[in-house]
Structure 1
Amino acid sequence: MAGQWLQWVRGVVTVHIRDGQPERLVNRALEGGLELSSIRWTSDGKLEFELSVGDFFRLRPFLKETGCRVHVTKRHGMPFWLIRVEKRKFFAIGLGVFFIGIYLLSSLVWSIEVKGNVKLTEEQILAAAKQEGIFPMQWSFKLKDKDILSKELVTDLPGATWVGVEKKGTRIIIQVVEATEPDKPDLESPRHLIASDDAVITEIYTEKGRPVVKKNMKVRKGQTLISGTIGGGEYTQSVVAKGKVRGLVWYEYNVASPLTQEVKVYTGEKKTKWYAVIGNRALQVSGYGKNPFGTSEDVVYEEQAAWRNWKLPFGRLKKTIMEVRTDVRELTVEEAKNNGMLEAKADVMQKAGSDAVVLKEIVLHENSDNGKVYMKVLFEVEQSIVEEMPLVQMQGE
């Protein structure tokens, strides 16, 4: 590796030898102390080899001695690179300024991200960080050591047990671990648990209180399921009734589902706009003009520039405007029925709760008229039927 680097610094040329005695030229050059490499014959019968720039000028006497002529085909190395740079001074200066700019931009703090906070607000944490010198557009080399920042932020933020500070490229991540406090039990008034709907009980579990119904019993809406009154006589006591009661509830729906459906279709026509992104700002660089489509959707794709593991505060954004149209699709009766059933079932689940289970779907009546399918549907659902009712105590009790 060191030898290759030294060769690049000295400069290397690739030459073709014509006429004369090429084999004798190689032997005489090697005997004369020249360093030749990659010696081979080309497909058109010419001898090719590589040698340093210094050895190239020492090759002349051997060429005269053997009657050969030389032609340089390739040049590479620092001497030739410097010649090209000399010819393109402004390009070289611009390239240098570009890399200096990248270095300076990557040495700034561009954004601060806060993680792990629950009780502490992001504004509180950012204010404390600013006091310790962490804020956007701050030079990275001016920041204190991570351990020192962590200790000082813990002191500045009451309620935080640990604060970690991590730098990723131009971004600072502040990870907060807050002190855990035991949950305070909510103050609850005595209550009964009553039925929220007419139902047949499928499951009952009493945690606190007195159950007054059993499994497979039919109950009416408002009927007491678990009483908050326990004991009897002078030992009667009011408690906060707690428990779980599930039952079968029936929902009847009149469904009207159309036999046509509007479908969004991409036409394939599109317009692309490019933007240069610097920080939180975007500057349009191509694709000017108004949106040529009556109906369209935007698809946005952003690329952030990076160098090694650092994300740089600039990049590019591609915005593609896709033309769309709305087509009307004819549905079969079965497809329309399925769509109607899905909408009705979604409404049932919203009313019955996330833990509800639809056990049966019974179509009581069905007919098609005026481009729609009409159905009367009965859903049998197992769900929680618990509702709280405050237990009002009479004065003097």
Structure 2
Amino acid sequence: MRISITHESPDFDSYRAARVRSLFNVEDGHRFVLDVDLPFSDPWSLGLVVGPSGSGKTSIGRQFFGAERFASFDWPAGQPLIDAIGPALSFDEVISTLSAVGLGSVPSWLRPFPVLSNGEQFRASLARVLCEQPAEVVIDEFTSVVDRQVARVGAMAFGKAWRRTAGRAVLLSCHYDIIDWLQPDWVLDTATGAFTGRYLRRRPEIALEIRKTGWEWWRYFEPHHYLRVPRAIAARCYVGFVGGEPVAHMAMSTRPGLKEARACRLVVMPDWQGAGIGLRFLNAVCAAWRRGDNPYDRPMPTLINTSHPGLAGALRRHPLWAQVSASLHGSNKKRSAEKISRSAGRIKAGYGGHFRSVQGFRYVEGVGASGVSAVGARPKGLAP
């Protein structure tokens, strides 16, 4: 495929224009010419045009599929995100897509698009592209309006999700740091005119350090958890750090008889959602408890209950987890409170009284089923 672009504007002869031409020896500043050859040989689904501003990326994007294929959306200001995205799709399909691009913070789903942060708007737009699944699409200014951490993780999440569709996408970006994370089928650098086919480099590793903590870190994670419930009684907390930054949280407690552990309060910070950290973090802690690396020095399998459709779907597909229960609604909260009061005396709390579906999963793998050697030990690199 050959792309030839010529843009011309009037050759202005004002004093200032003439002085600029004289000072900087520019004789043809009114003309932009670009001629590149894209030697596609294999079927492709995801391409990247990268280069500095003014180097012709948008013009190249128009040459691929036409200006009408550029992604552009009108967002209703009076609807929450969960209603504005994929209205013809099922609820679970929309939830799955939002989680796939890293927008897994449930409170964000209940807000209209205009009030979301730049990072959330970026991911919401990617989710909408994935829900609509156009046969051909061009996304301009890809990752340009978000910080670089969100850009890299968002690029990786979108790349993985887009490859599950049958369409072709061309992304236009000023930033080279997303290439290793995006893993495009080809890259065109408009700064040099170089074309690189089939990009086969390995993604950068994410070194995750897991520390045993108390509840002191929970205040940073709580706004991003989908439930507003008291802290788990007698729980031990774990926090995952990347480069000293807290990115994941989970609490571990035990069930009666000390035969099984229970995981709860699993949260991944929004900027890191979509990188696969949450499930690897969960598996690392559960593997440690299964080995007996816990406060009780005895091996325990782990049970986790969740009503988050994205997490439930991921655990259902994962070979280390088995689904053991599913309830369409909570139990009777009054009876639960009475039972807890009889067994614990002064405690008056009760569980249940809601209509959300709760699914239970058990960690079934034995020792060594994790990308991290041991909780609290020096971690290995955790590849996304």
Q: Sort the TM-score into its range (normalised by shorter chain).
A: under 0.3
For normalisation by structure 2, the TM-score amounts to 0.16
Give the number of the structure with larger relative contact order, counting CA–CA contacts within 8 Å between residues 6 or more apart: 2
Between Structure 1 and Structure 2, the one with more helix by share is: 2
Higher Rg: 1
- Give TM-score scaled by structure 1 length: 0.16
